[in-house]
Chains A and B, each alone.
Chain A
Amino acid sequence: MEVMHMADLLIDIVDVHKRYKVEKGPSVNALNGVSLSIKRNEFVCVVGPSGCGKTTLLNIIAGLESYDSGSVTMHGQPIIGPGPERGVIFQQYALFPWMTVEKNIEYGLKFIRKRDADGNEVRFTAEEKRELAHHYIKMVNLSGFENSYPKALSGGMKQRVAIARAYALNPEVLLMDEPFGALDAQTRAQLQEDLLRTWEKEKKTVFFITHDVDEAVLLASKVVIMSARPGQIKEIVDIDLPYPRTQATKMDETFMRYKNYIWDTVYKMYLEIPK
């Protein structure tokens, strides 16, 4: 058991309960006593069958949803709403279709203040915003598409814009809700690698939801397995594979062992769900 230093602790989720009321029918127990500690720069992947409450958990950390009891804190402060220190990336990209790639990436900067030389809080100038946008467009390999509208981009490119948009705000944690779920296998593999390279370069804490056990083991330093009805954490598996990882890591024997173990656990739970 490794000792966790308080300084390393970024997000602390303690005994969180959440029920949804459903019209005509019993309420759904989405989260039933979920506790999870996320350390700085950790890459956490959450897997589990549909209805296990993983998206609810992400929304709660994002501050987009409330919970019934328990506590969710970041740096020891309770999370009471969304904030730019927590960037969210959605499966459906959520790019603003009337804004160009550049404007999409600049948009969030409007809500951020930085400190100037005298320590005063100031807004970014238009020039600074553009520079930042261009920096992150380059980071996700989309140079040349600054003035394109989202409709002209492929799914993979859209998600890269969304990642650049989140990165541009320099959040402490990235919350990713099945970000590659809608992409074809090759694009997904490439984006996984891109995300790993970016994460290795600009370390961030990542909370990543996926259905894909392969993806979870490839990316995560820690895989959280959740069970459905009620949504609970079943097991947490530390992935002891060195970074940098590539698609070739999937051939590694240790990788296979992790993958088979997690897959079995998830599939057994899936079979137990009454259908």
Chain B
Amino acid sequence: MDATTPLSPKKRARKLKDFSDGSKRMRYTLMTISIIGGFLLWYFITLIPTINTFLASPKQVLRALVSESAADGRYLKDITISLQRVLIGFGLAFVCSIPIAFLMGWYPKVRNLVEPWIQFMRTIPPIALIPLVILAMGLGEPPKYTIIFVAAFLVMVVTIYQGVKEVDKTLIRAAYTFGASDKDLFVDIVIPASFPYILVGARLGMAASLTTLIAAELTGTTFGLGARIQGAQQFMDTSIVLLGIITIGVIGFVLDKILLFVEKKLTGWK
């Protein structure tokens, strides 16, 4: 080919791989297709009888939702009790992790005393604590709070403590040059600078609380979404099992969106 031949308009420069999320319209269209497609796929595979024995169809789950939420109000009670456990366990963990994380970030001595234990505990799945917790606390509500507390606390304390430790040192130096005392430094710089980490910690802690919920509800209880899923399995009632699973997913999604909203409101400067 003659070297001077101009490139045809079709032979444009190679387009670079696009790593953006794409346009809003495209995003929403694909999301809708994905959700409807997922439900359709679910519906069609449950038409196969052998699969339907362990996987309920969307229709069956919907029917379970109606009967569960109507009759004796079992579904609502399960949700309420599970939410209560998650929120109490998570709330306690949130309240405790912040001061401990700040103490660890601020005082090297506290950090050295506490950190080995936190790092050690972090590798233990909270489920492994169930026997101990039952022996210590019996079968009431406190053991559930405790298990969720442990899971959420460890995640949050590590995240927030990292944030305190990683406060931009130039900001600290800048505050020092103005004549800020250590107390000013803590209140004016360290706390606001760690705010984003507190909110990220809260989201991770919330996710940990929900995933531990099922484990927490294995400690002898008749109510709660985890217990309900367990119970339904014994009767091979797969529509209830699926309903429970989907409900936990929806709760997690909603709680995360709430925290995400709070994060946007409080750390818009980021």
Contact = CB atoms under 8 A, between A and B. Distances in A.
Interface stretch (A94-102, A227-235, A246-254): A94-102
Nearest to B268: A149
A270 interface: no
Interface in A87-142: 87-88, 90, 92, 94, 96-99, 107-108, 110-112
B179 A111 contact: yes
A96 B189 CA distance: 8
Contact of B173 (A64, A87, A110, A151): A64
Decide if the interface of chain B is mainly helix, strand, loop or mixed: helix
B166 interface: no
Contacts of A112: 179
Decide if the interface of chain A is mainly helix, strand, loop or mixed: loop
Contacts of B270: 97, 151
Interface string B245-270: 00000000000000000000001111
A97 B177 CA distance: 17
B193 A83 contact: no
Contact of B177 (A87, A92, A96): A87
Contact of A64 (B177, B188, B193, B195): B177
Contacts of B267: 98
Given A96-B189, A97-B269, A98-B193, A107 B173 contact: no
B173 A90 contact: yes
B39 interface: no
B28 interface: no
B171 interface: yes
B177 to A, nearest CB: 4
B176 interface: yes
Q: Interface residues of A toward B: which range?
A: 20 to 34
Contacts of B179: 82-84, 108, 111-112
B178 A111 contact: yes
Interface string B162-184: 00000010110110111110001
B125 interface: no
Contacts of B176: 64, 82
B192 interface: yes
Interface in A54-96: 62-64, 82-84, 86-88, 90, 92, 94, 96
A110 B179 CA distance: 9
Interface string A12-48: 0000000000000000000000000000000000000
Contact of B178 (A97, A149, A150, A169): A169
B195 A98 contact: yes
B269 A149 contact: yes
Nearest to B189: A96
Contacts of B188: 107
Contact of A94 (B171, B180, B184, B195): B171
Contacts of B174: 88, 90, 94, 96
B269 A92 contact: no
22 contacts: A62-B177, A63-B177, A64-B173, A64-B177, A82-B176, A82-B177, A82-B178, A82-B179, A88-B173, A88-B174, A88-B177, A90-B174, A94-B174, A96-B174, A96-B192, A98-B193, A110-B178, A111-B179, A112-B179, A149-B268, A150-B269, A151-B270
A107 B177 CA distance: 12
A98 B177 contact: no
Nearest to B178: A108
Interface in B150-208: 168, 170-171, 173-174, 176-180, 184, 188-189, 192-193, 195
